[in-house]
Amino acid sequence: MIGAAQAAQTPPPPPARVQVVAQEFRFSLSRLRVRAGLVVVELVNAGEDAHDLRLRRAGGGRVVSWPTLQPGAHFDRELKLRPGRYSLWCSLPGHRALGMEAVLVVTRPKPSPRR
């Protein structure tokens, strides 16, 4: 039986990670689904042109931005994501229209085991 003091000392799980690889003119996600909570989203520019990343929850107004990256660069951002569908796109002129968009689904966290 785990005491309350021991349970309080249990470290939280590490954040989920999603890698978004940008190439001309598409995004490839390392996973299409993650659980709600802390998530590290890494943008990697594996293309020959500059690219950036924008993320918005369906029905939401807040847009999270990554900087414009030159070829070979990467940038991590840790976010607290709620359940829902998130649109990802490159905001550079014409890139989204050429196919640089994707969807990330954030599911509800697993319920805690009852004791």
Where do the domains of the chain lie? 15-107
DSSP, collapsed to helix, strand or coil, labels residue 8 as: helix
User: Which of the following CATH numbers is that of domain 15-107: 2.60.40.420, 3.10.310.10, 3.40.50.300, 2.30.29.30?
Assistant: 2.60.40.420
CB-CB contact of 19 with 29 (8 Å) = yes
Q: pTM for the whole thing?
A: 0.85
Specify the DSSP element, H or E, that contains 99: none
- pLDDT value of position 13: 80
pLDDT tens readout for residues 14-44: 899 999 999 999 999 999 999 999 999 999 9
pLDDT tens readout for residues 54-109: 999 999 999 999 999 999 999 999 999 999 999 999 999 999 999 999 999 999 98
Report d(CA 75, CA 87) in Å as an integer: 18
